[in-house]
Amino acid sequence: MSSPYYMSAENLTPRKEICNYFAGFPVYALAWSRREDRGAFRMAVSSFSEEPSNSLQVVQLSPQHDASHIPERADFGVVAATNVDYPLTKIQWQPGLGPDLVAGVGDALHIWECEMSGEMGEMGLPH
């Protein structure tokens, strides 16, 4: 694969790094995606607000990321986002190579298909 995010066991060299992500809201739950075919180093992050205005973001390590740690620079960027009324207390990615699905539980079970198209992807909401 030619994707800059593609990693496999053969070309993965373990190393320790510090990466920054600035959410802009109190983070309540997060889940790392374990897919290797699309977007390694990607996670779903949900907010916590007592008001009915919470969010779910999918963030991914920037292709411009390098190992030099600069505390003021965000290494992750938002690639998809959606709004939810209640805080998601648990989020999880679908394992395997099927559709790119994210499930979240707050007031009910919600399932989103993560469709990353263009600079700011939209999350479809086929509940």
Per-residue model confidence (pLDDT) at position 120: 33
Per-residue model confidence (pLDDT) at position 29: 94
How many whole angstroms separate alpha carbon 43 and alpha carbon 70? Answer: 21
**4 confidence band (pLDDT: 50, 70, 90):** very low
**127 confidence band (pLDDT: 50, 70, 90):** very low
Q: How many residues does the chain have?
A: 127
10 Å CB burial of residue 119 (0-12, 13-18, 19+) is exposed
**What does the DSSP 8-state code read for residue 88?**
P
> pLDDT tens for residues 55-111?
998 888 876 666 666 666 667 778 888 888 899 999 999 887 777 788 899 888 888
> pLDDT tens for residues 8-53?
556 666 667 777 778 889 999 999 888 776 556 888 999 999 888 8
- For residue 45, the number of C-alpha atoms closer than 13 Å in the C-beta half-sphere is 19
Domain coordinates in residue numbering, the chain: 27-119
Distance of CA 41 to the CA centre of its chain: 8
Q: Tokens standing for 22?
A: 């600035």
Total H helices, total E strands in the chain: 0, 8
How many whole angstroms separate alpha carbon 31 and alpha carbon 22? Answer: 16
